Amino acid sequence: MNRLHESLRENVRVLGGYLGETISHQLGAEFVDKIDTIRHLAKADRVGDNSDNNLQEYLRQLSDDELLPVARAFNQFLNLANIAEQHYRARYRKTEDYQSIDQQSLDTLFSELLSKNVQPEDIWQTITDMRIDLVMTAHPTEVNRRTLIQKYDAIADSLNRLDNTDLYLDQREKVLSRIRQLIEQAWHTDEIRHQRPTPVDEAKWGFVVIENSLWQAVPEFYRHLDQALRNITGRSLPLDCSPIRFASWMGGDRDGNPNVTAKVTEEVLLLARWMAADLYLRDIEQLLHELSMWQCSDELRAEVGETAEPYRALLRKLRHRLQLTLNWIEGRLEQNNTHEPAPEGVLTHTAELTEPLKICYRSLKACGMEGIARGPLLDTLRRASCFSLNLLKLDIRQESGRHEAVFTELCKALDLGDYSQWDEHERQHFLLSELRSPRPLIPHNWQPSPEVQEVIDTCRVIAQQSPEALGSYVISMAHQASDILAVQLLLKECGCSFPMKVVPLFETLDDLDRSADVLGRLLRIEWYVDRIQGEQEVMIGYSDSSKDAGQLAAAWGQYRAQEELVQVCRRHGVHLTLFHGRGGTVGRGGGPARSAILAQPPGSVNGSIRVTEQGEMIRFKFGLPEIAQRSMEIYVSAVLEASLQPPPSAKPQWRHQMNQLAQDALTSYRQQIREHPDFVPYFRAATPEQELAKLPLGSRPAKRKANGGVESLRAIPWIFAWTQIRLMLPAWLGSDTALAQAQQQNQLPLLREMMTDWPFFRTYMDMLEMVLTKSDAEVARYYEERLVPEHLRPVGRQLRDRLGNLKATVLDIRNQQTLQESMPMIAEAIRVRNPYLDPLHVLQAELLQRDRSQSGSSQIEQALMVTMAGIAAGLRNTG
């Protein structure tokens, strides 16, 4: 068996040992013995030495008072194991998918591209033109409180210091003592929020990731990229070039979230500017200490006059302006006066920040001090090119029906008819007429409903911002060209003077299938083509399409939609940027970023891409500087490779087979989800779906409609609930039927060819295999035994049989004896975690049973939340 690296195992042992000491100190050695007994019983269950279900019986005997500390112990251990694993990946450059190989470096990739006759100039040009937007979203899967995350980060930092082989013994003991203290602090800190975070809280959490990790990681990564480019092309990365930039939905995503208002959006935009100014001010303070040189260029001398310390003189002016900016923003926030104009001296454009820094940089180089120029000064310039004055570009997201409601009310008020009843041709004619008209449409004294007023207020907030502060306006549930034109008209009516990108989000399978037709209609409109200036962005929804159609049919629908969108834009001479709304789990488009990017259709990654980074995956990928550097390297490498060496087009026989697989999977998935009368009652009985509403994960409600059924449930709790019981159903249901039917029809040679030669199908099968490795039918069966009425249990037996059959089918297709033969570290990581996960599953089922039968106490509810957090931590990509 492939074992985890010894250093990883040792760090897990050390962290777990300190946790045991902490628990013993508070609750006594007897309680630690109880935890150890539970762990040994879980191990015995796994190897079949425990036929009497002693683990379940032991945990059932626990009193309500014991449930919470037992759940906390296993939850904390799994979080500590994650810290050790992240540290290991950063130190040893392990790939995202845990293959037993090192992550490819930029130097290696550049050399490989040269060996394939790619010219150095093409590499440099592609990198400098590249635009990767990583969009942080607050989708509620990060269950840990921010204060705990900070302690975990400090533990990880201490592990980094232990890697220094030159530490004296007393220094090493000091670091170990610090780790012990942090683990003790974590144990005595409540894991679970007792109140939902506000959208502003979520935005602040995103700022913390930048302050604590990315502020350091970005210039370090660009230093590495610049050196690799100079080695291979002889040319540097330009000062104002940032292939990777960061955006956010936190405070801008109002789709189904009534807590995100225009006022909230305005506050978040101000807070982002304040955080950026504060961080730059710290940089300038450091530069004032460092740039004490007297020799300078004529350009710098002209700026500051005769002075002994010209660099410091220029930087003091910049420091003064940054301080003015901070003071002005603080005043607006404190007085709740968001409309106060900026006084003279306040920085309003990034160029006002970067130009003095560039003058210093050019002067140092001209005076033979390039080494000094390429120090902290260059780091600040790199940060400015990435984060600008606004830290994060804020996207706005709203559902298409809210825009329709605006024009329905407005047209009725103006006696123009009922917009909601107009067909697509009538809507387009009306919208385009108004877009071309110089007169305003919205009357000055119009008083719409509060819901409509909120949409208009949001557009007015947009109009007041600098274009640098904003990303895209994303329209969820976009169906027709009129959905895009409606937003364009709203922005015009609210005084938006710049062409903000308006982005349709195609989410359901039907909308994905029609997306190219919708875009084609838009690109035949002269006004629209003039407006977009040759750039079009389209968002592909992974979560809702998978919930709508099942993972396999959705994945193929997403692939075909991208192919067709690329062709439409190519015909019209428009550059297309695809925005991938990927979640953490496979059921929501998750998985290793490199594999996902290289599996996209040829031409769809043409130097630009936008990707959501959601929930706990933000911390796993960007929470530590070393990990963040690796993640950025993966994105740049994959986009470069996909742009210069795109994957092969699908062969006709592959396409025919995928069409059949997708149709079979869709039929099977919808029959189970939509047509089986007992499926929804089983889902609600077997999983903690209803209890998830009690877990204050994010600011957004779990359902789009408070009284809606499963169809109104958001994709995140839908997947989170199935993951908690280890059935992982959204990621595989339907695939089992489709692959089995192909197997029975003697398509095995073709499936193996597709898996070998087609990155799309290979990535799909890799993700499916990972899901099957994390799934566990026996765990799901236990939930059923404790929670599901007898008359519903046939549903569970059928689903578990289907899961078992799928595992056999996948092994046959892959010609393997066991799952994850090619990536054994995944299987080993799950095997190591199971003795800590299994007690949490048993505890959760017990707690759910007590909560439902007794209308549980606050103690039971708290313990239940801790089990959810622990299982999420143990399985990593849970939402």
Q: Give the mean pLDDT of 307-330.
A: 97
Q: Are 546 and 587 in contact (CB under 8 A)?
A: yes
Average the pLDDT over each of 121-130, 534-543, 614-623 and give the range with the smallest value.
Answer: 614-623
- The amino acid present at 174, given as its one-letter code, is K
Q: Range with the lowest mean pLDDT among 36-50, 304-318, 413-427, 699-713?
A: 699-713
384's CB contacts (< 8 A; 6+ apart) are 280, 350, 353, 354, 357
Q: In terms of residues, how long is the chain? A: 879
**Does residue 393 have an active-site annotation?**
no
d(CA 309, CA 560): 61
Is the predicted pLDDT of residue 707 greater than 60, yes or no? no
pLDDT value at 470 more than 80 = yes
Average pLDDT over residues 262-270: 96
Taking 80 as the threshold, does the pLDDT of residue 120 lie above it? yes
Higher pLDDT, 150 or 765: 765
Task: Identify whether the C-beta of residue 47 lies closer than 8 Å to the C-beta of residue 834.
Answer: no
pLDDT number for residue 878? 42
pLDDT value, residue 2: 46
**Rounded mean pLDDT of 664-685?**
95
Instruction: Please give the residue that has the higher pLDDT: either 467 or 86.
Output: 467
Question: Which carries the bigger pLDDT value, residue 828 or residue 257?
Answer: 257
Q: Would you say residue 180 has pLDDT above 70?
A: yes
What pLDDT is recorded for position 530? 96
Give the separation between CA 50 and CA 594, rounded to whole angstroms: 42
pLDDT for the residue numbered 196: 76
pLDDT at 19 over 80: yes
Please state, in angstroms and rounded to a whole number, the distance separating the CA atoms of residues 426 and 407: 13
With beta carbons less than 8 A apart as the criterion, state whether 43 and 835 touch: yes
Residue among 256, 282, 276 nearest 505 (CA) = 256
Q: Which of 403, 479, 547, 621 is catalytic?
A: 547
Here the tokens at position 675 are 């047509």
Q: What is the pLDDT of residues 785-818, one digit of tens each?
A: 999 999 999 999 999 999 999 999 999 999 999 9
Q: Is the pLDDT of residue 697 over 50?
A: yes
Query: What pLDDT does residue 833 have?
Result: 87
Active-site option among 34, 87, 139, 204: 139
Domains and CATH numbers, the chain: 1-92+146-189+832-879 (no CATH), 93-145+190-390 (1.20.1440.90), 402-501 (no CATH), 650-687+725-822 (no CATH)
Residue 707 has what DSSP assignment?
T
Which stretches of 85-222 are assigned E, i.e. beta strand?
131-137
Q: What's the pLDDT score for residue 844?
A: 95
DSSP string over 171-193: HHHHHHHHHHHHHHHHHTS--S-
Summarised one tens digit per residue, pLDDT across range 559-576 is 999 999 999 999 999 999
Task: Give me the residue label for tokens 């490795």.
Answer: 773
The mean pLDDT value of the chain amounts to: 90
- pLDDT band, residue 703 (cuts 50/70/90): low
Task: Band the pLDDT of 10: cuts 50, 70, 90.
Answer: confident
Average pLDDT of the residues in 253-259: 89
Q: Of the ranges 165-174, 502-511, 529-538, which one carries the lowest mean pLDDT score?
A: 165-174
**pLDDT for the residue 95:** 47
Confidence of residue 148 (pLDDT cuts 50, 70, 90): confident
Indicate the pLDDT class of residue 3, thresholds 50, 70 and 90.
low
**655 or 713, greater pLDDT:** 655
Query: How much is the average pLDDT of 344-360?
Result: 96
Helix or strand run (H / E) with residue 578: strand 575-581
pLDDT band (50, 70, 90) for residue 708? very low
Give mean pLDDT, residues 282-304. Answer: 97
Q: Which two tokens stand for residue 28?
A: 């006594």
Backbone angles phi, psi at 260, to 5 degrees: -95, 105
pLDDT cut 70: percent of the chain above it: 92
Of residues 702 and 506, more confidently modeled: 506
Pick from 621, 736, 617: which is nearest to 668 by CA?
736
What tokens were used for 525?
């409109």
pLDDT digits (tens, 9 = 90+) for 408-440: 999 999 999 999 999 999 999 999 999 999 999
Q: What's the pLDDT band for 583 if we cut at 50, 70, 90?
A: low
Q: What is the pLDDT of residue 838?
A: 94
Pairing of β 575-581 and β 131-137: unpaired
Quick: pLDDT tens for 33-72. Answer: 999 999 999 988 887 755 566 888 899 888 888 889 999 9
Cβ neighbours of residue 209 closer than 8 Å, sequence gap 6 or more: 136, 618, 619, 622, 623
Q: If pLDDT is split at 50, 70 and 90, which confidence band does 98 have?
A: very low
Using an 8 Å Cβ cutoff, are 198 and 138 in contact?
no
pLDDT score of 117 more than 80: yes
pLDDT (mean) for 131-152:
77
- Does residue 151 carry a catalytic annotation? no
Q: CA–CA separation, 786 vs 332, rounded Å?
A: 55
pLDDT for res 605 = 93
Contact 503, 474 (CB under 8 A): yes
Contact call for residues 607 and 126 (beta carbons, < 8 A): yes
Rounded to an integer, the average pLDDT of 220-233 is: 96
Give me the mean pLDDT over the 674-697 stretch. Answer: 86
pTM for this one?
0.91
Q: With 90 as the cut, is the pLDDT of residue 193 above it?
A: no
CA dist., res. 725 & res. 844, Å (int): 9
Judged against a pLDDT cut of 70, whether residue 590 lies above it is answered with: no
Q: Residue 367 CB: number of other CB atoms within 10 A?
A: 16
